[in-house]
Amino acid sequence: MDHKPRPQETKPCLMDHKPRPQETKNMLKNKDFRNLILLGFAGTLIFSLCAYIFAGIKAVFLILIFGVALTAYFAHITKKRYEALERLNDYLTLVLAGGTLPETEEQEEGEVSILRTNIYKAASILSFQNELLKKDKVRLADAIADISHQLKTPLTSMMVMNDLLKSEDDPAKREEFLATQSNQLDRMNWLVQTLLKLSKLDAGTIELKKEAITAKDLIESALKPFEIQMELKDIETKVESTDITLNCDINWTLEAIRNIIKNCFEHMEAGGRLEIETSDTNLFSQIKIKDTGCGIAKEDLPHIFKRFYKGKNSGKDSVGIGLALSKAIMEDQHGEIRVSSTEGVGTTFEIRFYKTII
Protein backbone atom coordinates (compact mmCIF):
# COMPACT_ATOMS: atom_id res chain seq x y z
CA MET A 1 0.00 0.00 0.00
CA ASP A 2 1.18 3.50 -0.80
CA HIS A 3 1.46 5.64 2.27
CA LYS A 4 1.12 9.33 1.64
CA PRO A 5 3.17 11.50 3.96
CA ARG A 6 1.07 13.15 6.60
CA PRO A 7 1.01 16.91 6.33
CA GLN A 8 3.30 18.58 8.81
CA GLU A 9 1.46 20.20 11.66
CA THR A 10 2.00 23.93 11.80
CA LYS A 11 1.47 26.17 14.74
CA PRO A 12 -1.42 28.57 14.15
CA CYS A 13 -0.43 32.14 13.44
CA LEU A 14 -2.06 35.15 14.98
CA MET A 15 -2.57 36.62 11.48
CA ASP A 16 -4.14 33.48 9.94
CA HIS A 17 -7.53 35.10 10.03
CA LYS A 18 -9.74 35.77 7.03
CA PRO A 19 -12.52 38.33 7.40
CA ARG A 20 -15.80 36.57 7.95
CA PRO A 21 -18.77 37.57 5.73
CA GLN A 22 -20.68 39.01 8.66
CA GLU A 23 -17.74 41.22 9.69
CA THR A 24 -18.54 43.82 6.99
CA LYS A 25 -22.15 43.96 8.15
CA ASN A 26 -21.01 44.20 11.74
CA MET A 27 -18.85 47.18 10.82
CA LEU A 28 -21.96 49.12 9.75
CA LYS A 29 -23.42 48.49 13.21
CA ASN A 30 -20.38 50.13 14.78
CA LYS A 31 -21.30 53.63 15.92
CA ASP A 32 -17.84 55.12 15.34
CA PHE A 33 -17.63 53.62 11.85
CA ARG A 34 -21.10 54.91 10.93
CA ASN A 35 -20.25 58.39 12.22
CA LEU A 36 -17.09 58.39 10.12
CA ILE A 37 -19.02 57.52 6.96
CA LEU A 38 -21.76 60.07 7.69
CA LEU A 39 -19.23 62.78 8.52
CA GLY A 40 -17.34 62.07 5.32
CA PHE A 41 -20.40 62.26 3.12
CA ALA A 42 -21.79 65.29 4.96
CA GLY A 43 -18.50 67.12 4.59
CA THR A 44 -18.31 66.21 0.93
CA LEU A 45 -21.86 67.53 0.28
CA ILE A 46 -21.18 70.78 2.13
CA PHE A 47 -17.95 71.43 0.28
CA SER A 48 -19.62 70.47 -3.02
CA LEU A 49 -22.41 72.99 -2.38
CA CYS A 50 -19.90 75.72 -1.60
CA ALA A 51 -17.90 74.85 -4.70
CA TYR A 52 -21.06 75.04 -6.86
CA ILE A 53 -21.87 78.49 -5.52
CA PHE A 54 -18.38 79.95 -5.89
CA ALA A 55 -16.66 77.90 -8.64
CA GLY A 56 -19.25 76.09 -10.75
CA ILE A 57 -20.16 72.58 -11.70
CA LYS A 58 -16.62 71.41 -12.54
CA ALA A 59 -15.42 72.15 -9.03
CA VAL A 60 -18.40 70.20 -7.66
CA PHE A 61 -17.34 67.06 -9.51
CA LEU A 62 -13.74 67.43 -8.31
CA ILE A 63 -14.87 67.91 -4.70
CA LEU A 64 -17.25 64.96 -4.93
CA ILE A 65 -14.56 62.65 -6.35
CA PHE A 66 -11.99 63.79 -3.81
CA GLY A 67 -14.45 63.61 -0.88
CA VAL A 68 -15.70 60.14 -1.77
CA ALA A 69 -12.14 58.87 -2.28
CA LEU A 70 -10.96 60.36 1.01
CA THR A 71 -13.98 58.99 2.90
CA ALA A 72 -13.49 55.55 1.32
CA TYR A 73 -9.80 55.62 2.24
CA PHE A 74 -10.47 56.47 5.89
CA ALA A 75 -13.29 53.91 5.98
CA HIS A 76 -10.91 51.27 4.64
CA ILE A 77 -8.22 52.17 7.21
CA THR A 78 -10.76 52.13 10.03
CA LYS A 79 -12.19 48.79 8.84
CA LYS A 80 -8.68 47.24 8.76
CA ARG A 81 -8.02 48.51 12.29
CA TYR A 82 -11.26 47.04 13.62
CA GLU A 83 -10.47 43.74 11.87
CA ALA A 84 -7.08 43.71 13.62
CA LEU A 85 -8.80 44.35 16.96
CA GLU A 86 -11.26 41.56 16.18
CA ARG A 87 -8.35 39.19 15.56
CA LEU A 88 -6.83 40.23 18.87
CA ASN A 89 -10.17 39.55 20.55
CA ASP A 90 -10.31 36.07 18.96
CA TYR A 91 -6.73 35.50 20.10
CA LEU A 92 -7.52 36.43 23.70
CA THR A 93 -10.58 34.19 23.61
CA LEU A 94 -8.34 31.32 22.47
CA VAL A 95 -5.82 32.04 25.23
CA LEU A 96 -8.52 32.16 27.91
CA ALA A 97 -9.90 28.86 26.60
CA GLY A 98 -6.48 27.27 27.14
CA GLY A 99 -5.77 26.68 23.46
CA THR A 100 -2.40 26.54 21.72
CA LEU A 101 -0.78 29.94 21.55
CA PRO A 102 -0.60 31.23 17.95
CA GLU A 103 2.59 32.94 16.89
CA THR A 104 2.69 36.55 15.78
CA GLU A 105 4.66 37.08 12.60
CA GLU A 106 3.70 40.58 11.51
CA GLN A 107 6.37 43.20 12.10
CA GLU A 108 4.39 46.31 11.19
CA GLU A 109 4.60 49.60 13.02
CA GLY A 110 1.69 51.23 14.78
CA GLU A 111 -0.31 51.04 17.98
CA VAL A 112 -2.24 47.89 17.01
CA SER A 113 0.96 46.05 16.10
CA ILE A 114 2.58 47.06 19.40
CA LEU A 115 -0.56 45.96 21.28
CA ARG A 116 -0.54 42.65 19.37
CA THR A 117 3.10 42.00 20.29
CA ASN A 118 2.57 42.86 23.95
CA ILE A 119 -0.51 40.64 24.17
CA TYR A 120 1.45 37.77 22.65
CA LYS A 121 4.27 38.29 25.17
CA ALA A 122 1.84 38.42 28.09
CA ALA A 123 0.02 35.31 26.84
CA SER A 124 3.35 33.47 26.42
CA ILE A 125 4.36 34.33 29.98
CA LEU A 126 1.00 33.20 31.32
CA SER A 127 1.26 29.97 29.32
CA PHE A 128 4.75 29.32 30.70
CA GLN A 129 3.58 29.99 34.26
CA ASN A 130 0.62 27.68 33.71
CA GLU A 131 3.00 24.90 32.65
CA LEU A 132 5.09 25.52 35.76
CA LEU A 133 1.96 25.27 37.92
CA LYS A 134 1.10 21.94 36.30
CA LYS A 135 4.60 20.63 37.00
CA ASP A 136 4.39 21.92 40.58
CA LYS A 137 1.15 20.01 41.06
CA VAL A 138 2.81 16.82 39.82
CA ARG A 139 5.81 17.39 42.12
CA LEU A 140 3.47 18.11 45.04
CA ALA A 141 1.55 14.89 44.41
CA ASP A 142 4.84 12.94 44.23
CA ALA A 143 6.11 14.62 47.41
CA ILE A 144 2.91 13.77 49.29
CA ALA A 145 3.21 10.16 48.14
CA ASP A 146 6.85 10.05 49.29
CA ILE A 147 6.01 11.64 52.64
CA SER A 148 3.18 9.17 53.18
CA HIS A 149 5.53 6.30 52.41
CA GLN A 150 8.22 7.62 54.78
CA LEU A 151 5.73 8.10 57.62
CA LYS A 152 4.02 4.79 57.01
CA THR A 153 7.07 2.69 57.94
CA PRO A 154 7.65 4.10 61.47
CA LEU A 155 3.91 4.28 62.12
CA THR A 156 3.50 0.60 61.23
CA SER A 157 6.44 -0.32 63.44
CA MET A 158 5.01 1.65 66.36
CA MET A 159 1.59 0.03 65.97
CA VAL A 160 3.19 -3.42 66.08
CA MET A 161 5.28 -2.47 69.13
CA ASN A 162 2.20 -1.07 70.84
CA ASP A 163 0.28 -4.34 70.30
CA LEU A 164 3.23 -6.32 71.65
CA LEU A 165 3.48 -4.08 74.71
CA LYS A 166 -0.14 -4.85 75.62
CA SER A 167 0.56 -8.56 75.93
CA GLU A 168 4.21 -8.52 77.08
CA ASP A 169 4.94 -9.03 80.78
CA ASP A 170 8.73 -9.35 80.57
CA PRO A 171 10.22 -5.99 81.79
CA ALA A 172 13.31 -6.40 79.57
CA LYS A 173 11.18 -6.96 76.46
CA ARG A 174 8.96 -4.01 77.34
CA GLU A 175 12.05 -1.79 77.64
CA GLU A 176 13.24 -3.02 74.25
CA PHE A 177 9.86 -2.28 72.64
CA LEU A 178 9.73 1.17 74.26
CA ALA A 179 13.24 1.94 73.00
CA THR A 180 12.19 0.95 69.47
CA GLN A 181 9.14 3.18 69.69
CA SER A 182 11.28 6.05 70.95
CA ASN A 183 13.66 5.66 67.99
CA GLN A 184 10.76 5.65 65.55
CA LEU A 185 9.29 8.76 67.18
CA ASP A 186 12.65 10.51 66.89
CA ARG A 187 12.82 9.57 63.23
CA MET A 188 9.30 10.84 62.57
CA ASN A 189 10.02 14.07 64.43
CA TRP A 190 13.18 14.65 62.39
CA LEU A 191 11.33 13.92 59.16
CA VAL A 192 8.44 16.27 59.95
CA GLN A 193 10.76 19.07 61.13
CA THR A 194 12.94 18.76 58.00
CA LEU A 195 9.91 18.78 55.72
CA LEU A 196 8.61 21.90 57.46
CA LYS A 197 11.95 23.61 56.92
CA LEU A 198 11.94 22.66 53.24
CA SER A 199 8.37 23.91 52.88
CA LYS A 200 9.25 27.25 54.44
CA LEU A 201 12.22 27.65 52.12
CA ASP A 202 10.08 26.75 49.11
CA ALA A 203 7.38 29.23 50.11
CA GLY A 204 9.92 31.99 50.70
CA THR A 205 8.56 32.66 54.19
CA ILE A 206 12.00 32.52 55.80
CA GLU A 207 14.11 35.67 55.85
CA LEU A 208 17.76 34.62 55.90
CA LYS A 209 19.80 37.09 57.96
CA LYS A 210 23.45 37.23 57.02
CA GLU A 211 25.98 37.68 59.79
CA ALA A 212 29.75 37.54 59.88
CA ILE A 213 31.31 34.39 61.36
CA THR A 214 34.73 32.83 60.97
CA ALA A 215 34.94 29.56 59.08
CA LYS A 216 36.71 28.01 62.10
CA ASP A 217 33.84 28.83 64.48
CA LEU A 218 31.25 27.63 61.96
CA ILE A 219 32.98 24.28 61.49
CA GLU A 220 33.47 23.75 65.25
CA SER A 221 29.77 24.42 65.86
CA ALA A 222 28.79 22.06 63.04
CA LEU A 223 30.95 19.20 64.40
CA LYS A 224 29.87 19.53 68.04
CA PRO A 225 26.71 17.31 67.87
CA PHE A 226 28.72 14.47 66.30
CA GLU A 227 31.66 14.35 68.73
CA ILE A 228 30.40 11.42 70.83
CA GLN A 229 29.22 9.39 67.81
CA MET A 230 32.53 9.88 66.02
CA GLU A 231 34.46 8.90 69.12
CA LEU A 232 32.39 5.71 69.51
CA LYS A 233 32.89 4.90 65.85
CA ASP A 234 36.59 5.80 66.03
CA ILE A 235 36.36 8.29 63.17
CA GLU A 236 39.31 10.66 62.92
CA THR A 237 38.50 14.30 62.18
CA LYS A 238 41.04 16.66 60.65
CA VAL A 239 40.23 20.37 60.26
CA GLU A 240 42.45 22.81 58.35
CA SER A 241 40.82 26.22 58.53
CA THR A 242 42.27 29.41 57.11
CA ASP A 243 41.51 32.76 58.69
CA ILE A 244 38.46 33.67 56.58
CA THR A 245 35.15 35.27 57.50
CA LEU A 246 31.86 34.13 55.99
CA ASN A 247 28.69 36.20 55.60
CA CYS A 248 25.74 33.86 55.99
CA ASP A 249 22.70 33.00 58.06
CA ILE A 250 24.51 31.14 60.82
CA ASN A 251 21.73 28.84 62.03
CA TRP A 252 20.56 27.76 58.57
CA THR A 253 24.11 27.34 57.29
CA LEU A 254 24.89 25.13 60.30
CA GLU A 255 21.86 23.04 59.35
CA ALA A 256 23.22 22.63 55.81
CA ILE A 257 26.75 21.69 56.93
CA ARG A 258 25.52 19.28 59.62
CA ASN A 259 23.37 17.43 57.10
CA ILE A 260 26.43 16.94 54.91
CA ILE A 261 28.58 15.80 57.85
CA LYS A 262 25.78 13.45 58.91
CA ASN A 263 25.70 11.99 55.39
CA CYS A 264 29.48 11.46 55.48
CA PHE A 265 29.34 9.93 58.95
CA GLU A 266 26.59 7.46 57.98
CA HIS A 267 28.57 6.20 54.98
CA MET A 268 31.86 5.59 56.82
CA GLU A 269 32.95 2.40 58.52
CA ALA A 270 34.62 2.41 61.94
CA GLY A 271 38.12 3.84 61.78
CA GLY A 272 37.29 6.21 58.92
CA ARG A 273 38.60 9.71 58.38
CA LEU A 274 36.77 13.02 57.91
CA GLU A 275 38.74 15.99 56.55
CA ILE A 276 37.46 19.56 56.50
CA GLU A 277 39.41 22.42 54.97
CA THR A 278 38.63 25.98 53.92
CA SER A 279 39.89 28.16 51.10
CA ASP A 280 39.27 31.65 49.77
CA THR A 281 39.31 33.11 46.25
CA ASN A 282 38.30 36.44 44.71
CA LEU A 283 34.98 34.86 43.65
CA PHE A 284 33.99 32.66 46.60
CA SER A 285 34.90 31.23 49.99
CA GLN A 286 34.74 27.46 50.29
CA ILE A 287 34.39 24.72 52.89
CA LYS A 288 35.47 21.30 51.61
CA ILE A 289 34.29 18.20 53.46
CA LYS A 290 35.92 14.90 52.46
CA ASP A 291 35.22 11.42 53.83
CA THR A 292 36.70 7.95 53.36
CA GLY A 293 33.32 6.25 53.09
CA CYS A 294 31.85 3.84 50.57
CA GLY A 295 31.37 6.59 47.99
CA ILE A 296 28.45 7.34 45.69
CA ALA A 297 27.69 5.32 42.58
CA LYS A 298 28.29 7.17 39.31
CA GLU A 299 24.67 6.76 38.23
CA ASP A 300 23.44 8.15 41.58
CA LEU A 301 25.71 11.20 41.68
CA PRO A 302 23.51 13.55 39.55
CA HIS A 303 20.46 12.80 41.73
CA ILE A 304 21.69 12.91 45.34
CA PHE A 305 20.26 16.41 45.96
CA LYS A 306 16.78 15.38 44.81
CA ARG A 307 14.20 14.97 47.54
CA PHE A 308 13.58 11.41 48.72
CA TYR A 309 16.21 10.03 46.33
CA LYS A 310 18.01 7.01 47.72
CA GLY A 311 21.06 5.65 45.95
CA LYS A 312 22.24 2.07 46.00
CA ASN A 313 24.71 2.80 48.82
CA SER A 314 22.12 4.52 51.02
CA GLY A 315 21.54 3.18 54.50
CA LYS A 316 18.32 1.37 55.36
CA ASP A 317 17.18 4.29 57.56
CA SER A 318 18.02 6.93 54.98
CA VAL A 319 15.12 9.19 53.97
CA GLY A 320 16.79 11.23 51.26
CA ILE A 321 15.94 14.82 52.22
CA GLY A 322 18.96 15.97 54.25
CA LEU A 323 21.08 16.85 51.23
CA ALA A 324 18.07 18.38 49.48
CA LEU A 325 17.62 20.72 52.45
CA SER A 326 21.33 21.63 52.42
CA LYS A 327 21.14 22.48 48.73
CA ALA A 328 18.01 24.63 49.20
CA ILE A 329 19.63 26.56 52.08
CA MET A 330 22.79 27.32 50.12
CA GLU A 331 20.95 28.33 46.97
CA ASP A 332 18.77 30.73 48.97
CA GLN A 333 22.02 32.40 50.04
CA HIS A 334 23.30 32.50 46.44
CA GLY A 335 25.75 29.72 47.16
CA GLU A 336 26.05 26.17 45.91
CA ILE A 337 27.19 22.68 46.85
CA ARG A 338 29.33 20.59 44.52
CA VAL A 339 30.06 16.92 44.97
CA SER A 340 32.51 14.39 43.58
CA SER A 341 32.84 10.77 44.59
CA THR A 342 34.55 7.49 43.82
CA GLU A 343 33.06 4.22 44.99
CA GLY A 344 35.21 2.51 47.59
CA VAL A 345 37.37 5.63 48.07
CA GLY A 346 35.13 8.40 49.42
CA THR A 347 33.12 11.53 48.72
CA THR A 348 34.01 15.21 48.65
CA PHE A 349 31.51 18.04 49.15
CA GLU A 350 32.45 21.62 48.26
CA ILE A 351 30.26 24.28 49.91
CA ARG A 352 30.76 27.62 48.16
CA PHE A 353 29.78 31.04 49.48
CA TYR A 354 29.90 33.44 46.53
CA LYS A 355 31.00 37.00 47.20
CA THR A 356 28.94 38.32 44.28
CA ILE A 357 25.65 37.00 42.94
CA ILE A 358 26.25 34.84 39.84
CA distance 127 to 131: 6
Give the model's pLDDT for residue 336.
94
Give the model's pLDDT for residue 52.
65
Q: What is the pLDDT of residues 206-257, one digit of tens each?
A: 788 889 999 999 999 999 988 888 888 899 999 998 889 999 999 999 999 9
Q: What is the pLDDT along the chain (358 residues), one digit of tens a residue?
A: 444 444 444 444 444 444 444 444 555 566 666 666 677 677 777 777 776 676 667 676 777 777 677 777 777 777 777 777 777 777 777 767 766 655 555 555 566 677 777 777 877 787 788 888 888 787 777 667 767 766 777 788 788 878 888 887 888 888 888 887 887 788 788 778 877 887 777 777 778 888 999 999 999 999 998 888 888 889 999 999 888 999 999 999 999 999 999 989 888 888 899 999 999 999 999 999 999 988 888 898 888 888 777 777 676 666 678 898 899 899 989 999 999 999 889 999 999 999 876 5
Distance of CA 138 to the CA centre of its chain: 13
Q: What is the pLDDT of residues 266-312, one digit of tens each?
A: 888 888 999 999 999 999 999 999 999 888 888 988 888 887 777 77
How many CA atoms within 13 Å lie on the side-chain side of 270? 4
Give the β-pairing of 236-240 and 245-248: unpaired
Q: Are 103 and 119 in contact (CB under 8 A)?
A: no
Q: Are 291 and 268 in contact (CB under 8 A)?
A: yes
Of 226, 195, 213, the residue nearest 328 (C-alpha) = 195
C-alpha separations of 355 from 88, 284, 351 in Å: 47, 5, 13
CA gyration radius, the chain = 36
Q: How many CB atoms lie within 10 A of CB 14?
A: 21
Global pTM reads: 0.59
Give the model's pLDDT for residue 98.
64
Give the 3-state secondary structure percentages of the chain, helix then strand then coil, rounded to 5.
60, 15, 30
Q: Sign of dihedral through CA atoms 145, 151, 152, 153? A: positive
The residues pairing with 245 across neighbouring beta strands, listed in sequence order, are 214
Give the model's pLDDT for residue 68.
73
